[in-house]
Structure 1
Amino acid sequence: MSTAPANGRQLLTGIEASGAFPVPYRFTHAKGGNRHLVVVFANFSAPQDYGWSNGVLDNVRANILWVRDRFDGMNSYYLCKEMDFSLEQSVAALIFNVMTALELTPDDVTLWGGSKGGSAALYFGLRYGFRNIVSIVPQFLVGSYVQRVHPKVARFMLGETVPEENVRIVDAILPDLVRSQVNRTANIYLLSSPQDEQYTEQVEPFLDLFHGYDNFNFIYSESPFITDHTQVTRRNVPALLGLLNLLVDGLPPRLGHVRNGYEEPDRDRTPIGSYLKATAVVRGAEFPPPVVTEPAARSEVARSAVRFSGLAPGAVRVSIWEHGRYLGQADVAPDGTWSWELGRAWSKGQHPVKVYGIDRVGYQSQRTEVQFTAVDGPVHGAVPAGPAAHPMGGVLAMAPITAPEGGGAPMVFAPMAHEQLMDARVLFAGSAPGAVQVGFRESGVLLGAAAVGPDGMWSWDSGWAWSTGTHVVDVFGVDAAGVESSISRIPFSTVGVSSGAGSPGY
């Protein structure tokens, strides 16, 4: 799945599942071919557990990898679950896989984070040998901190009873790592403040441990306007972003040789593109999209009586959206059924609602879109939709099958209008009651045709790999007398999947 932020940088999401713990991530490519990677760790209050994801890093020129800290529904400091540190190794695997796909080395990477994320940046940066570390108001005694402040996190990380032995072990991890002077040539920038209520216990006692490091920089922020832990970061954002851009440009504040520029705008992105595709959060044919059995497609429904229901094989919950805005979610029962209501009356008019499934790992299915019209008062004579056989083995939402009046256009369930597809093979499917076959044209060129079954359903696979880019396909029905219906126009795009010649006639 990808989105385009306001500044035009495409945001890609995925899950690195090669380790013991699946690790969700977000990624955006560098501007102007910059050859650097910034890895961002999250604090406790980060939206959706992605730190610094509110647009503040939009103007950073580097590749940016946001690592989510949510494992089995809980935060972890990116370290462990019940003292199982294979969670940490799974996070490290994500970072190294992205770094390798970008053809970078640890010298080309900056780790960045605040509070919980600051502890993670310092820990991963030192332990795994990364060149630049920006640690903002971290905690050093992680075990004691979660035991006292975040008891649920403590139980998740240290065990249900939070044994004191485990508290001590996790307390020692970061101080012992710094004390060992591992990665002593790293460029380390640690920000804290005496106005931070955590400073006296969590930072000040450990500053002397950095004396042996070649380029340790302590940014001491003191201001009457700083009132608490979070304000330390907020008051220093401009200076921190300035520091980050220096690191991205290969200009760490230090004496000696520096490297400027470091941009290759024409560099081949194939390796990182392949990695992002392989770990993309939205799955293809192996994870079927949900079925929406009600409301019926293109039906009219009373505003106060809209209820969604259907099937979602392979999912543990479904997520419901409209116009890019999250509406809600519903758990999927063991038999695959689900249902959901908004909890208030819908606004009057048409509503294009998208539903997708989410599995236990966090992978998402393709989107299913259903359009309905919310109207005032009861709707008379409405026939509830029923499931119809999907050509790939599932079921799809469909309106009651009745012969269309005046050569109505075929209904197209897949691909959805304006859908981005990560597969070069595109399956078309839908219903065309009253037609004996459906045909497909692009730019006036006939691509092929498919027979319509007795139940009105049809499907068509062109047999070729579609070229990368935007396609607009007209789908039309043909009745027994050879008369063509009106068309359903389906714009869609294939993203980074093929550089082939595309469909016949090009």
Structure 2
Amino acid sequence: MSDTAAAGRRIFTGVEASGKFPIEYRFTHARNGNRRLMVVFANLNAPEEYGWGNGVLDRTRSNILWIRDKFDGVNSYYLCKEMDFSLEESVIGLISRVMHALDLTPADCIMFGSSKGGTAALYYGLKYGFRDIVASVPQFEIGSFVKEHMKPTARFMMGEGVPEHNVGIIDALLPETVWRSGNRDANIYLISSPQDEQYRQHVEPYLGHFRDYSNFNFIYNDSPLIAGHGKVTLRNLPVMLGLANLLVDGVTPRIGTIRNGYEEPDRGTAGIDDYLRSTSRLKDTFAAPQVHAPVQGGTTPGRTVLFAGSAPGAVRVSLWENGKFLTSPQVGPDGNWSWDPGRDWAVGKHVVRLFAVDPAGFHSPRTEVVFTVPPRSPAAAAPASGGPPSAGLPFPGRTPTALPAPVVSVPAPGQQVSGPVIGLMGYAQGAAHVGFTEDGMPLGMTPVAPDGGWSWESGWSWMDGQHTVECYAVDPNGTESPRSAVTFGVVNALDGLTPGYRPA
């Protein structure tokens, strides 16, 4: 399956399933026959766990392979599950197959990433002999970092209870790889900053490990205008892109004779085309999702639109309009899903395309729903005497419902919650699902148990400070309840990091 990015580059999505762990990827062909491959590893809180997939790499001329870091809903640092490093073997298997399909060698590849993606770029680049590595603000002591800041990831990587012995093994992986690697001629560009709170523990103590590398370049960003890991990561991006584009052209910033260009415009693409077809996520035997609302070809009663349907066998559905990703609501155990963006839609005709995703990451064929949003009538726009017509309703123009607003029992109003990952609990009698939003942005949805109880964990790191989350219940017919809200504080989260997966 492929989509076209904003800059016109065709994006292919697929699953490399030849190893023990299926690895999801995105790929785009090089421009003008460029003969490089850039492998992009995901940073902390990357949307959908693909690093820098928001268009910032559109002008990079090389082939680009994005690798997803999401397994059982959490990150893995591309390393292991419960100390089973078959996950790493599956990742390098994907990289190798794409590289060989392009008829390239490790000398033609650039490992690229920031934060945990920078850690992966260094680890894979040095361990497997890749020539060019661009890594921004990595973590060297991986085990200690995830144990302190990413508890679900720590359990996934090192097992229940996160044994200290396993923490020590994971802590030593990257430092020992740097110390023992025979890839001493690699072009390494490591970017960090003392303004990053992780610098003193995770970078500075290990710079001496690179003393025998012939082309190790350390870029030290000492700007007083930035503070915190997340802001340093963003501030370093232009430097990363500049280096990547030089490397794509075969320019390594050092004194000496270099070759520039690396284009073969007339070279065939049969090898990579065959690989992309053979690993395509599209699975024709997996049924396309059904849409119960809005009505196909119909006109919505208002400018707010509730989407609901079914997708048996899927874990989520993905919705798109005009090539733009909208959201990816979870599918409940009963096969039903729903999504309400909580906003007005533009007047006129809308075409929304969606597909289902199964537990292995394969895609169903697409479903298309077409609906029209009418202009708001003067009567609906003008408030009636005694208050606006939408007073007490969850959305303007929405029909009242007897379904009560969900009750949130955890966290309590005003409670200070230990981050970085937080969870909510409560009950919603008569509901099928409970949905969550913050500042108008959908956060997710969770099924309701037969006894009315529900629980939901975000799966991403929350920013320190006050948060107000609105909750709404959805009955089996897709009708929503009024909203309830809970305000709480998050403490001990990673400073400077914004919440991770939030659909646009």
**TM-score normalised by structure 1 residue count:** 0.68
What SS does the aligned partner of 1:120 have? helix
Q: Which residue of 2 aligns with 1:41?
A: 41
Structure 2 Cα separation of the partners of residues 331 and 32 of structure 1: 39
Superposition deviation, residue 65 in structure 1? 0.9
One-letter code aligned to 1:370: V
Percent of aligned pairs sharing the same letter: 58
Deviations 1:29-70 (A, max 9, x none): 111101001111111122221112222222211111111111
* Bigger Cα displacement from structure 2, 105-114 vs 151-160: 151-160
Q: Which residue of 2 aligns with 1:266?
A: 266
1:314 paired to 2:293: no
What SS does the aligned partner of 2:110 have? strand
Q: Which residue of 2 aligns with 1:228?
A: 228
Structure 1 Cα separation of the partners of residues 7 and 299 of structure 2: 38
Q: Which residue of 1 aligns with 2:167?
A: 167
1:357 paired to 2:368: no
CA contact (8 A) 1:181 1:212 kept: no
What SS does the aligned partner of 2:291 have? strand
Structure 2 Cα separation of the partners of residues 61 and 115 of structure 1: 24
1:139 paired to 2:103: no
Structure 2 Cα separation of the partners of residues 118 and 338 of structure 1: 36
Deviations 1:227-263 (A, max 9, x none): 2323334334333322222211222123444222221
RCO comparison, higher one (Cα < 8 Å, 6+): 2
Q: Which residue of 2 aligns with 1:431?
A: none
CA contact (8 A) 1:189 1:216 kept: yes
The within-5 A match list for 1:274-353 is 274-283=274-283, 285-293=284-292, 296-300=295-299, 302-303=301-302, 310-326=309-325, 328-332=327-331, 336=335, 338=337, 350-353=349-352
Superposition deviation, residue 336 in structure 1? 4.6
Pair 228,292 (structure 1): closer, same or farther in 2 beyond 3 Å: closer
Superposition deviation, residue 6 in structure 1? 2.9
Superposition deviation, residue 296 in structure 1? 4.7
In structure 1, runs of 5+ residues without a counterpart are 379-506
Pair 310,193 (structure 1): closer, same or farther in 2 beyond 3 Å: closer
The within-5 A match list for 1:77-476 is 77-283=77-283, 285-293=284-292, 296-300=295-299, 302-303=301-302, 310-326=309-325, 328-332=327-331, 336=335, 338=337, 350-373=349-372
Q: Which residue of 1 aligns with 2:61?
A: 61
Superposition deviation, residue 371 in structure 1? 2.8
CA contact (8 A) 1:16 1:23 kept: yes
In structure 2, runs of 5+ residues without a counterpart are 381-396, 398-504
Pair 37,316 (structure 1): closer, same or farther in 2 beyond 3 Å: same
The within-5 A match list for 1:466-505 is none
Pair 237,309 (structure 1): closer, same or farther in 2 beyond 3 Å: closer
Deviations 1:420-475 (A, max 9, x none): xxxxxxxxxxxxxxxxxxxxxxxxxxxxxxxxxxxxxxxxxxxxxxxxxxxxxxxx
CA contact (8 A) 1:181 1:213 kept: no
Pair 208,268 (structure 1): closer, same or farther in 2 beyond 3 Å: same
How many residue pairs are counted as aligned between the two chains?
377
Superposition deviation, residue 295 in structure 1? 5.1
Structure 2 Cα separation of the partners of residues 309 and 228 of structure 1: 40
Structure 2 Cα separation of the partners of residues 305 and 57 of structure 1: 34
Deviations 1:399-436 (A, max 9, x none): xxxxxxxxxxxxxxxxxxxxxxxxxxxxxxxxxxxxxx
Structure 1 Cα separation of the partners of residues 65 and 269 of structure 2: 16
Superposition deviation, residue 297 in structure 1? 3.3
Pair 289,126 (structure 1): closer, same or farther in 2 beyond 3 Å: same
1:6 paired to 2:6: yes
Superposition deviation, residue 320 in structure 1? 3.8
Pair 125,312 (structure 1): closer, same or farther in 2 beyond 3 Å: same
CA contact (8 A) 1:303 1:347 kept: no
Structure 1 Cα separation of the partners of residues 83 and 290 of structure 2: 40
What SS does the aligned partner of 1:226 have? coil
Structure 1 Cα separation of the partners of residues 9 and 3 of structure 2: 8
CA contact (8 A) 2:303 2:347 kept: no
Structure 2 Cα separation of the partners of residues 330 and 235 of structure 1: 32
Structure 1 Cα separation of the partners of residues 170 and 310 of structure 2: 44
CA contact (8 A) 2:2 2:10 kept: yes
* Bigger Cα displacement from structure 2, 360-369 vs 298-307: 298-307
Pair 318,201 (structure 1): closer, same or farther in 2 beyond 3 Å: closer
Structure 2 Cα separation of the partners of residues 115 and 161 of structure 1: 25
Structure 1 Cα separation of the partners of residues 36 and 325 of structure 2: 33
Q: Which residue of 1 aligns with 2:29?
A: 29
**TM-score normalised by structure 2 residue count:** 0.69
CA contact (8 A) 2:304 2:342 kept: no
* Bigger Cα displacement from structure 2, 289-298 vs 272-281: 289-298
* Bigger Cα displacement from structure 2, 64-73 vs 220-229: 220-229
Structure 2 Cα separation of the partners of residues 176 and 4 of structure 1: 41
Pair 345,187 (structure 1): closer, same or farther in 2 beyond 3 Å: closer
What SS does the aligned partner of 1:56 have? coil
What SS does the aligned partner of 1:243 have? helix
Q: Which residue of 2 aligns with 1:16?
A: 16
Structure 2 Cα separation of the partners of residues 262 and 229 of structure 1: 35
CA contact (8 A) 1:40 1:65 kept: yes
CA contact (8 A) 1:303 1:348 kept: no
Structure 2 Cα separation of the partners of residues 170 and 214 of structure 1: 27
Structure 2 Cα separation of the partners of residues 61 and 232 of structure 1: 25
Structure 2 Cα separation of the partners of residues 243 and 305 of structure 1: 45
Structure 1 Cα separation of the partners of residues 61 and 358 of structure 2: 34
What SS does the aligned partner of 2:368 have? strand
Deviations 1:139-184 (A, max 9, x none): 1111111111222221121112011001100001111111113211
One-letter code aligned to 2:149: V
What SS does the aligned partner of 1:224 have? coil
Name the Cα RMSD after superposition: 2.6
* Bigger Cα displacement from structure 2, 22-31 vs 233-242: 233-242
One-letter code aligned to 1:360: P
Structure 2 Cα separation of the partners of residues 360 and 193 of structure 1: 39
What SS does the aligned partner of 1:302 have? coil
Q: Which residue of 1 aligns with 2:434?
A: none
CA contact (8 A) 2:42 2:50 kept: yes
